[in-house]
Amino acid sequence: MYPWNHQRRYNAYTEYLKALFGQRVQKVTINAGFTCPNRDGLISVGGCSYCDNAAFNPSYCHPDKSITQQIEEGIEFHQNRYRRANKYLAYFQAYSNTYADLKNLKRIYNQALENDKIIGIVIGTRPDCVDEEKLSYFARLAESKYVIIEYGIESCNNNTLQAINRGHDFETSVKALEMTRKMGIHTGAHFIFGLPGETKEEWLSWTKIISGLPLHTIKFHQLQIIKNTVMAIQFKSHPETFHSFELHEYVDFVIAFAERLNPHFIIERFAGEVPPRYLYINNWDLIRNDQLLCMIEKQMENQNTWQGKYYIQ
């Protein structure tokens, strides 16, 4: 039934990591003090209209602390919480983590890999913040460590990307993914469901485009409107341009999306989880990601469906 060797109805990230490393692996989030060309003026100063990095950055991450200290504190935090994990991936999440010169990138990532509990790095960035020289460096690291570059793609629709002030188009994302994959580096992508002007039908139609991308992992987030962002102001004045998902509707939708998705992709996330105090509107009360995942898996079971069931190559 499934192209993967386990009982879950989708290609789950936790199983993927266990199969890859033979043990439980956790991510330790690092804030290395990068900025973003969409904020520092190179492309724009306003940033993406939905962006507030503080909303998804754990409190123990602060660029005032060295990478070494953040890793040690992150490991200690996780060891208290998930006692079974003994190996970690350093997850560079905040802002654009390839937006620096090569010398600085080497200083930062080599430092992260000095800790012998760190078996790889996860690098979140924009698709316009990589080039051949940087990717060659990451490709060399990838010969002995796990390296994945996760690109914020967000939408396949260039009108949307322009409207949310992303500062790059979809073709830039495709080019970055192709270059990265060609260099032998793992690739990930992040998409948002709910950006203004888009519809459920449009997102479902993307499954064909996305399934053809050179991707290992994929993350989906429902749009979460964060207080004090441009998007919160837009939502206040034009709520009718947003498709705000009800919880059960979102469960049905992501299942339909997964059914059409390439069955070889590893789904890392079905939804985002911003602390409620940051949210301008909160449709889903206090539901946690693991509760949502249970709902999705139970519903898949009830529908006797799975990732890729309706995938057409």
Instruction: Look up residue 284 and give its two tokens.
Output: 């889903």
Instruction: Look up residue 177 and give its two tokens.
Output: 């993914």
Cβ at position 35, least distance to ligand SF4 in Å: 8
Check: CB of residue 33 under 8 Å from CB of residue 63: yes
Q: Cα(285)–Cα(276) distance, rounded to whole angstroms?
A: 8
Q: Which residue has the tokens 């709910």?
A: 194
The strand pairing partners of 154, in sequence order, are 191
Cβ at position 34, least distance to ligand SF4 in Å: 9
Cβ at position 125, least distance to ligand SF4 in Å: 8
Q: Cα(92)–Cα(29) distance, rounded to whole angstroms?
A: 6
The strand pairing partners of 165, in sequence order, are none
Q: Cα(192)–Cα(219) distance, rounded to whole angstroms?
A: 9
Check: CB of residue 119 under 8 Å from CB of residue 145: yes
96/234 with CB nearer ligand SF4: 96
- Residue 49's SS3 state is coil
197/263 with CB nearer ligand SF4: 197
39/219 with CB nearer ligand SF4: 39
51/119 with CB nearer ligand SF4: 51
Cβ at position 76, least distance to ligand SF4 in Å: 27
Q: Cα(313)–Cα(311) distance, rounded to whole angstroms?
A: 6
Contacting positions for ligand SF4 (CB under 6 A): 36, 38-39, 47-48, 51, 53, 95-96, 126, 152
Instruction: Look up residue 289 and give its two tokens.
Output: 């990601």
39/260 with CB nearer ligand SF4: 39
Instruction: Look up residue 107 and give its two tokens.
Output: 């200083």
Cβ at position 282, least distance to ligand SF4 in Å: 20
Q: Which residue has the tokens 């002007």?
A: 197
Q: Which residue has the tokens 């469901």?
A: 193
Q: Cα(157)–Cα(203) distance, rounded to whole angstroms?
A: 10
The strand pairing partners of 25, in sequence order, are 87
33/263 with CB nearer ligand SF4: 33
Check: CB of residue 193 under 8 Å from CB of residue 218: no
Q: Cα(224)–Cα(156) distance, rounded to whole angstroms?
A: 18
- In 10 A of CB 253, how many CB atoms? 21
Cβ at position 228, least distance to ligand SF4 in Å: 14
Cβ at position 150, least distance to ligand SF4 in Å: 11
Cβ at position 53, least distance to ligand SF4 in Å: 6
